[in-house]
Homo-oligomer: A and B are copies of this chain.
Amino acid sequence: MNFHYPNGKRYVPKTNTAAPKIRKEKNFAYSNRGMTLEEDLNETNLYYLEQNIAVIHKKPTPVQIVNVDYPKRSAAVIKEAYFKQASTTDYNGVYKGKYIDFEAKETKFTSSFPLKNFHTHQIRHMRDVLSHQGVCFVILRFTSLEEVFLLEASYLLSFWDRMEEGGRKSITKEEVEKYGHQIPLGFQPRIDYIKVIDYLYNLS
């Protein structure tokens, strides 16, 4: 049965499809659109996949499984597990035959990007990828500014080395602007980073 309201329009129940997901995570930061960088990149990668542009996936979160319960007639339940530190970056895949590998991080700061966002394992992995001619970079989001940059791993590694030699523990915003490439934000794809790869590697 449908009720008719004073405006004469048929009542349509509200759906929640457009509601932003609320997560209880530490260091969680909303962009103005209510999407995390990870969600934006997952949608971008899905767009690339469906449009047959590139095959790039986020790796699953590494988990150390300690105890699993196998109830009869239903799926196995993991009862005890712990988060493990990733030994690689989060995203990889293939674009025009090339190996693509990157990590994505966001900060609330506006004047610099802290290097503590990256782990030693990930830095080591980036060096390995570069030495095997992979395309390796980081995607950095300044959440409050709504600005996203692609910075090639070679530059990130230089800034990391500077820190190891006693220098500053972050990349200044000016350095990100100078050595990185700002990625225009769109609706579909949201973060079109492949365009920057085309430009850098003359692939288009």
Contact = CB atoms under 8 A, between A and B. Distances in A.
Given A60-B62, A94-B134, A98-B97, A77 B78 contact: no
Nearest to A56: B132
A133 B81 contact: no
Contacts of A47: none
B128 A55 contact: yes
A102 to B, nearest CB: 13
Copies in the complex: 2
A115 to B, nearest CB: 22
A87 interface: yes
Interface in A61-109: 61-63, 65, 75-84, 87-88, 92-101
Interface residues of A, number: 40
A82 B76 contact: yes
B61 A65 contact: yes
Contacts of A132: 54-55, 94-97
B88 A99 contact: no
A131 interface: yes
Contact of A83 (B75, B95, B99): B75
Interface in A91-150: 92-101, 125, 128-129, 131-134
A113 to B, nearest CB: 25
B81 A75 contact: no
Nearest to A131: B52
B63 A61 contact: yes
A94 B55 contact: no
A80 to B, nearest CB: 7
Contacts of A97: 98-99, 132-134
A49 interface: yes
15 contacts: A55-B125, A59-B59, A59-B60, A61-B65, A63-B65, A75-B82, A77-B80, A77-B82, A79-B79, A79-B80, A94-B99, A94-B101, A94-B132, A97-B99, A98-B99
